Structure 1
Amino acid sequence: MTTSNLIAIRDGEINGGFYSPAKEKAAIRGSFQHRFVIFRRLRYIAKLKLLLLVFCALCGVGLLISRIPSSLGWNLRYPSSSFSSSRGGYTVLINTWKRNSLLKQSVAHYASCHGTKGIHVVWSENDPPSNSLKNYLYNIVMAKSQTARKPDFKFDINEEDNLNNRFKPIQSLRTDAIFSVDDDVIVPCDELEFAFSIWQTAPSTMVGFVPRMHWIGEKKETHVSYKYGGWWSVWWMGTYSMVLSKAAFFHQKYLDMYTNQMPASIRNYVTRERNCEDIAMSLLVANITGAPPIWVKGKIYEIGSFGISSLKDHSNKRHKCLNDFVSLYGYLPLVPTNVKAVDSRNEWFCCLEKREKKVKSRCEKSF
Structure 2
Amino acid sequence: LWNNQTPPPPRFLDSRKGYSIVMNTWKRYDLLKQSIKHYSSCPRLESVHIVWSEPDPPSDVLLKYLHHVVKSKSKDGRLVKLKFDINKEDSLNNRFKEIKDLETDAVFSIDDDVIFPCSSVEFAFDVWQSAPDTMVGFVPRVHWMDSLEGNSNKFIYGGWWSVWWTGTYSMVLSKAAFFHKKYFNIYTKEMPSSIREYVTKNRNCEDIAMSFLVANATGAPPIWVKGN
Q: TM-score, normalised by structure 1?
A: 0.57
Aligned in 2, Cα 1:201/1:194: closer, same or farther, shift over 3 Å? same
Instruction: Give me the whole-angstrom Cα distance separating, in 2, the residues matched to 1:209 and 1:144.
Output: 24
Question: Is 1:209–1:248's contact at 8 Å kept on the other side of the alignment?
Answer: yes
Deviation at 1:218, TM superposition (A): 2.4
> Counterpart in 2 of 1:204?
133
For 2:112, which of 155, 180, 183 is the aligned residue? 183
For 1:266, which of 174, 179, 195 is the aligned residue? 195
Question: Is 2:20–2:48's contact at 8 Å kept on the other side of the alignment?
Answer: yes
For 2:226, which of 289, 294, 297 is the aligned residue? 297
Q: Spell out, residue by residue over 1:280-318, the C-alpha distance to the aligned partner (whole angstroms, 9 max, x if none).
A: 00110011111100000111xxxxxxxxxxxxxxxxxxx
Aligned in 2, Cα 1:100/1:233: closer, same or farther, shift over 3 Å? same
> Counterpart in 2 of 1:131?
60
> Counterpart in 2 of 1:247?
176
> Counterpart in 2 of 1:161?
90
For structure 2, which runs of at least 5 residues remain unmatched after alignment?
2-13
Deviation at 1:224, TM superposition (A): 4.2
For structure 1, which runs of at least 5 residues remain unmatched after alignment?
1-71, 73-84, 300-367
Instruction: Give me the whole-angstrom Cα distance separating, in 2, the residues matched to 1:221 and 1:214.
Output: 15
> Counterpart in 2 of 1:96?
25
Q: Is the aligned partner of 1:116 residue 2:63?
A: no
Deviation at 1:226, TM superposition (A): 1.1
Deviation at 1:215, TM superposition (A): 2.0
> Counterpart in 1 of 2:35?
106
Instruction: Give me the whole-angstrom Cα distance separating, in 2, the residues matched to 1:222 and 1:125.
Output: 40
Q: Spell out, residue by residue over 1:118-160, the C-alpha distance to the aligned partner (whole angstroms, 9 max, x if none).
A: 0010000000001111111011000011131201110001012
Instruction: Give me the whole-angstrom Cα distance separating, in 2, the residues matched to 1:199 and 1:265.
Output: 30
Question: Is 1:219–1:225's contact at 8 Å kept on the other side of the alignment?
Answer: no
Aligned in 2, Cα 1:224/1:162: closer, same or farther, shift over 3 Å? closer
Deviation at 1:171, TM superposition (A): 1.1
Instruction: Give me the whole-angstrom Cα distance separating, in 2, the residues matched to 1:218 and 1:272.
Output: 28
Task: Give the CA RMSD over aligned residues.
Answer: 1.5
Q: Is the aligned partner of 1:170 residue 2:106?
A: no
Question: How much identity, in percent, do the aligned residues show?
Answer: 64
Q: Is the aligned partner of 1:146 residue 2:80?
A: no
Q: Secondary structure at the match of 1:297?
A: coil
> Counterpart in 2 of 1:195?
124
> Counterpart in 2 of 1:277?
206
Q: Secondary structure at the match of 2:169?
A: coil
* Residue type of the alignment partner of 1:128: P
* Residue type of the alignment partner of 2:180: H
Question: Is 1:207–1:248's contact at 8 Å kept on the other side of the alignment?
Answer: yes
Instruction: Give me the whole-angstrom Cα distance separating, in 2, the residues matched to 1:89 and 1:258.
Output: 22
Deviation at 1:219, TM superposition (A): 5.9
* Residue type of the alignment partner of 2:99: I
Aligned in 2, Cα 1:128/1:219: closer, same or farther, shift over 3 Å? same
Aligned in 2, Cα 1:234/1:133: closer, same or farther, shift over 3 Å? same
* Residue type of the alignment partner of 1:156: D
Aligned in 2, Cα 1:86/1:239: closer, same or farther, shift over 3 Å? farther
Q: Secondary structure at the match of 1:122?
A: strand
Instruction: Give me the whole-angstrom Cα distance separating, in 1, the residues matched to 2:48 and 2:211.
Output: 22
Q: Spell out, residue by residue over 1:193-246, the C-alpha distance to the aligned partner (whole angstroms, 9 max, x if none).
A: 000000000000000000000122126666442100100000011110100000
Question: Is 1:218–1:224's contact at 8 Å kept on the other side of the alignment?
Answer: no
Instruction: Give me the whole-angstrom Cα distance separating, in 1, the residues matched to 2:113 and 2:214.
Output: 24
| Greater fraction of residues in helix | 1
Instruction: Give me the whole-angstrom Cα distance separating, in 1, the residues matched to 2:206 and 2:154.
Output: 20
Higher relative contact order (CA 8 A, sep 6+): 2
